[in-house]
Structure 1
Amino acid sequence: MSRSPSREDPLARLATTWLGGPIGRHARIGVSRWTPLAVAFLVTTALFVIGIVEKAPCHGQGWPRDNYAFSHLCYTDVPYLYRERGFAQGGIAYLDRGDYPPLEYPVLTGAVMQVTAWVTQTFESADAVAASVLFNDLTVVVLFGFALLTAWALSRTTPHRPYDAMFFAAAPTLALAGTINWDLVAVALTTCALLTWSKSRPFATGVLLGLGAAAKFYPLFLLGPLLVLALRSGKLRLWGVTLLSAVAAWMVVNLPLLLLAQDSWAAFWSFNADRAGDFGSIWYVLGLAGHPVSMVNAASLGLFALACVGIAWLGLFAPRRPRLAQLVFLTVAAFVLVNKVYSPQYVLWLLPLVALARPRWRDWSVWQAGELIYWVAIWLHLAGALVPAADGTPDRFYWLAVGVRIAATVYLCVMVIRDILAPATDVVREGGLIDDPAGGPFDHAADAGRLRRWFGAERPGRAPVGEGATP
């Protein structure tokens, strides 16, 4: 039976006051045509419409190459990349070279861009600006489809909590950042991978993760939490199937271009390896403050490695085995916290993970508020609107916005860690009655061998007495 948000979440209960309060315990839930999925689709659509309206000033101007897009808070990479990466000239991504930089995106993202460019060119517009606007419009339609796919996968991953998809669908950052870049492609594939794992389909999970990594590198981070939980539950064979299928899917997409256009294929990797501390990161702020870090790659990777060790320790030694979504969220959150750059659309990576790991409206609202503050600050920073008058004072408001964003993400991490250490506080587990609905083969699995003796797990999927389980 699905859970009613107005019954269990204090903020949702408060928000329904004007409607007469939370739904009654004897109400008939699930008989209306307005199913949780239908509501999630409707809200996702509304958010995308809001995002289109928000970018309307730039749309009308054709996204000029000046501060207009920054100062009007309507920037997106999409039309600029059409004009500046060879698509406007009829070039094929990666294979054709001309008087423009190579495409610095993973292959599957480049394929989505190329197909959309071909559709754009069927209208035979000789005006590159007009064509780039049409390319943007078609891309919005494509990304909208991936957003709906994400909402669908979320509603199916935890069947007893289908309304948790609203944490993705109703996010204001979905409206503002959803069409800045093509990240929703990888987000949808990653969410579908979590869905297939929840159905105990490791091969399909691996294929989806491999395709996701061919669109954006971060989906491969899911293999770490899967390995930790496989070690704890003694299901390494399933993890091996997932790993091999992920590598195979990634190779199928990448190998042709690796053989035909190695230099163009490597542009994504060299671009990220050579990148210094950039917008949104703590490294960028340190540089602005006069304390640049010379070895940003080593520092960023080192901190991420330390975070991964800590997450692995938590996954192996917590009194009760953590849920998969909790470890996945912590891993991806750790990466965006210490990475060399934090583009505004990276918030999309975390949206479905928050819905699965910590579906609490209060915590979600705190986090979204921090992201919104940063979203406004980055565009005004790029427009030069936050720099104080001519005295040359540093843009400390932007520094503060970065700190607020980081603090909001850390807050969410702390709440997820608390749920791991005290499972009775985890609303998904409902006080210990449910184990890991998204865990697939991990759900209700006992700790393996020696781990079982270490952790004292006497019954599969149950917390130790005193942590929310029935003795």
Structure 2
Amino acid sequence: MAENADAHAVPDAGEAGSVSPAPLAEDRRSADWRDLPGRTDPLTASLSSVIGGPVGRHAVVGRSRFFTPMRAILLLAIVFLALGWFSKAPCIQQAPFGENGTLALDWSGSRQYVAMCYSDTVPLYGAERLNEGAFPYKKSWEEDIGNGLTQTRYMEYPVITGLYQYVSMTVAKAWDATPWLPQALQVVIYFNVVAFGLTLAWLVTVWASALLAGRRIWDAAMIAASPLVIVHVFTNFDALSTAFAAGGLLAWARKRPVLAGILLGLGGATKLYPLLLFGPLLVLCLRTGKIRDWSVAALAGLGAWLTVNLPIALLFPSGWAEFFRLNSERGADPDSIYNVISSFTGWAGFDGVLSVGQTPSVLNAVSLLLFAVLCVGIGYIALTAPTRPRLMQLCFLVVAGFLLTNKVWSPQFSLWLVPLAVLAFPHRRILLAWMTIDALVWVPRMFYYLGVSNKGLPEQWFTATVVVRDVAVIVICALIIRQIYRPDEDLTRYGFIDDPSGGVLDQAPDAQPRWLPTWLRPRRTAGADSADSASETAGQR
């Protein structure tokens, strides 16, 4: 026994010749650089008391065989995705209707609003003529737009989203035609097929975001457990675009610009916002002299977008253009700042009262101009800040600026911000407050849609909560800008860690092109110079 113990003796920092009570593990690695929120974040420390409290000070971190942080986070995501499905379940209930007791969806008594379970997926199955087995962009129909006028309509979504609906419909019809499988209304099967695909897409979003978080991998738990997941992950198809965006940013972080461009380009063929991420990449690559990497990614993104869109555009040009036509002609969305102002002041809008089918051209121009101004301001900050901003900080600012100035902020668009916000500004209590506020906007929205005559809420109850949501987003933007100018307050920067999502930008010194004017170059301070020197020294080590 004594000989055995001596064989495994290990030196101790405080006492020479101390003996290990058991053989040492073969794997002696410890991820002691990983952030431990149970010890560093008061909110997490308090919540951890439910499962035994924070990890011990002398615990070896990073050697769990099964419940690794990634698996725990994905399991948490599955729990919240299940809650999201149950929140929509009342809207896929079936009931007998008519003399023959034919089964149909039970939306009686405005169930979709009273139960707050509304999802675009259900009505779109018939509205987009998917129930007829029609191919999107080829199938057209006439829609009454008022005043005795009709309009030719097509699938209203970008190509990948439209094809996703078509594939989901095909699976649902095949399921319905298989008698030995559990049966339901075809639209119910379709909803569940769509939800399964969106579940996989959101899990990809969480997985990629966790890898992008680096040493702060547990931050991704805020993405997995966001209240917005419960409310909106199955409201529309936006989880597809968040998966492409997160995957593209992860590819960029792994220094694979071609793959990054392809994924962001495909994301742009799903929803617009992944294309906006090329903007932050451009200004940061301009500041660091990495324009070649950006050009490769941008060309790959353009190629991927064209590869998906060109066949549909050439075969069905009118159907392909429907998404752009509809977004051009639609007015201010209920969630937009323009409608909020109209709601409280009675303002008729920039274009006044429009006739049926008339395009709000002034509103379109104003929203585009405001977003352009914001982008110029963000670009100025990115180029002139003493310390180069992190990629995720600029990505959040751009996407948030787009939503705040755009004439459309559909409720599920808030999902776009969740991964970017967590990676840009990992302050849990502030983020949880914003996410909760944003999720709760759904309640007055549903009762506003119900209508005052049907015991619903007046519009101002809804638009007032929109104002609170917008203010919360603006506050986060202001705090991110503050941290850009005070990088010592940025929780993500740690020791030699500069930008874990930056890829070729991480640890890169400033190398602006000579043609860039002086007023667009970093405003150097003594603190920034010393910080940059320390960063470069650590990078060389």
Q: Shared fold (TM-score greater than 0.5)? A: yes
Aligned-partner residue type, residue 117 of structure 1: M
Distance 1:314 1:57 in 2: 47
Is the 8 Å Cα contact of residues 85 and 103 (structure 1) preserved in structure 2?
yes
Correspondence for 1:398 among 459, 462, 472: 462
Question: 1:177 is matched with which residue?
Answer: 232
Question: 2:439 is matched with which residue?
Answer: 372
Distance 2:478 2:232 in 1: 25
Correspondence for 1:416 among 455, 470, 480: 480
Q: Sort the Cα spacing of 1:386 and 1:308 in 2 relative to 1 into closer, same or farther, 3 A.
A: farther
Q: Sort the Cα spacing of 1:452 and 1:260 in 2 relative to 1 into closer, same or farther, 3 A.
A: closer
- SS of 2:129's equivalent in the other structure is coil
Residues 376-424 of structure 1: per-residue CA shift (max 9 Å, x gap): 12111111259989xxx95321121110110111111111111111001
Is the 8 Å Cα contact of residues 63 and 69 (structure 1) preserved in structure 2?
no
For residue 248 of structure 1, report the CA deviation from its aligned partner: 0.4
Is the 8 Å Cα contact of residues 71 and 380 (structure 1) preserved in structure 2?
yes
Aligned-partner residue type, residue 284 of structure 1: N
Distance 1:263 1:164 in 2: 44
- SS of 1:136's equivalent in the other structure is helix
Aligned-partner residue type, residue 112 of structure 1: Y
1:112 equivalenced with 2:164 (yes/no)? yes
Identical aligned residues as a percent: 38
Question: 1:255 is matched with which residue?
Answer: 310
Is the 8 Å Cα contact of residues 213 and 220 (structure 2) preserved in structure 1?
no
Query: Which residues of 2 match residues 317-336 of structure 1 at below 5 A?
Result: 317-336=384-403
Distance 1:250 1:413 in 2: 30
Aligned-partner residue type, residue 9 of structure 1: D
Distance 1:302 1:66 in 2: 43
Question: 1:146 is matched with which residue?
Answer: 201
Any gaps of 5 or more consecutive residues in structure 2?
Answer: 1-30, 95-104, 144-152, 351-361
Query: Which residues of 2 match residues 152-171 of structure 1 at below 5 A?
Result: 152-171=207-226
Distance 2:530 2:524 in 1: 10
Query: Which residues of 2 match residues 2-401 of structure 1 at below 5 A?
Result: 2-32=34-64, 33-61=66-94, 62=105, 64=107, 67-98=110-141, 101-124=153-176, 130-289=185-344, 290-294=346-350, 295-384=362-451, 395-401=459-465
Is the 8 Å Cα contact of residues 63 and 79 (structure 1) preserved in structure 2?
no
Distance 1:363 1:469 in 2: 30
Select between 437-446 and 83-92 the one with higher mean Cα deviation. 83-92
Question: 1:445 is matched with which residue?
Answer: 508
For residue 343 of structure 1, report the CA deviation from its aligned partner: 1.2
For residue 3 of structure 1, report the CA deviation from its aligned partner: 1.6
Distance 1:468 1:147 in 2: 39
Is the 8 Å Cα contact of residues 328 and 364 (structure 2) preserved in structure 1?
yes
For residue 375 of structure 1, report the CA deviation from its aligned partner: 1.6
For residue 42 of structure 1, report the CA deviation from its aligned partner: 0.7
For residue 9 of structure 1, report the CA deviation from its aligned partner: 2.0
For residue 466 of structure 1, report the CA deviation from its aligned partner: 6.9
Is the 8 Å Cα contact of residues 206 and 220 (structure 2) preserved in structure 1?
yes
For residue 129 of structure 1, report the CA deviation from its aligned partner: 8.8
Q: Sort the Cα spacing of 1:388 and 1:215 in 2 relative to 1 into closer, same or farther, 3 A.
A: same
Any gaps of 5 or more consecutive residues in structure 1?
Answer: none
Distance 1:386 1:464 in 2: 64
Aligned-partner residue type, residue 163 of structure 2: A
Question: 1:436 is matched with which residue?
Answer: 499
Distance 2:523 2:384 in 1: 11
Q: Sort the Cα spacing of 1:457 and 1:242 in 2 relative to 1 into closer, same or farther, 3 A.
A: farther
Distance 1:352 1:221 in 2: 15
Structure 1 length normalisation: TM-score?
0.92
Distance 1:303 1:400 in 2: 22
Is the 8 Å Cα contact of residues 206 and 244 (structure 1) preserved in structure 2?
yes
Is the 8 Å Cα contact of residues 424 and 467 (structure 1) preserved in structure 2?
no
1:464 equivalenced with 2:464 (yes/no)? no
Distance 2:383 2:440 in 1: 36
- SS of 1:67's equivalent in the other structure is helix
- SS of 1:69's equivalent in the other structure is helix
Distance 1:26 1:81 in 2: 55
Aligned-partner residue type, residue 5 of structure 1: P
Is the 8 Å Cα contact of residues 241 and 268 (structure 2) preserved in structure 1?
yes
Q: Sort the Cα spacing of 1:382 and 1:125 in 2 relative to 1 into closer, same or farther, 3 A.
A: farther
Q: Sort the Cα spacing of 1:465 and 1:21 in 2 relative to 1 into closer, same or farther, 3 A.
A: farther
Distance 1:6 1:124 in 2: 48
Is the 8 Å Cα contact of residues 448 and 458 (structure 2) preserved in structure 1?
no
Aligned-partner residue type, residue 113 of structure 1: Q
Distance 2:234 2:223 in 1: 15
Q: Sort the Cα spacing of 1:444 and 1:467 in 2 relative to 1 into closer, same or farther, 3 A.
A: closer
Q: Sort the Cα spacing of 1:411 and 1:43 in 2 relative to 1 into closer, same or farther, 3 A.
A: same
Is the 8 Å Cα contact of residues 83 and 129 (structure 1) preserved in structure 2?
no
Aligned-partner residue type, residue 92 of structure 2: H
For residue 64 of structure 1, report the CA deviation from its aligned partner: 3.2
Is the 8 Å Cα contact of residues 74 and 206 (structure 2) preserved in structure 1?
yes
Aligned-partner residue type, residue 134 of structure 1: I
Structure 2 length normalisation: TM-score?
0.81
- SS of 1:342's equivalent in the other structure is coil
Distance 1:228 1:330 in 2: 13
Which one scores higher on RCO, CA 8 angstroms, separation ≥ 6?
A: 1
Is the 8 Å Cα contact of residues 383 and 522 (structure 2) preserved in structure 1?
no
Question: 1:426 is matched with which residue?
Answer: 490
For residue 98 of structure 1, report the CA deviation from its aligned partner: 4.1
Residues 81-114 of structure 1: per-residue CA shift (max 9 Å, x gap): 1112111111111123345631100000011111
Count of matched residue pairs = 464
Is the 8 Å Cα contact of residues 206 and 242 (structure 1) preserved in structure 2?
yes
Is the 8 Å Cα contact of residues 6 and 16 (structure 1) preserved in structure 2?
yes
For residue 131 of structure 1, report the CA deviation from its aligned partner: 0.8
- SS of 1:55's equivalent in the other structure is helix
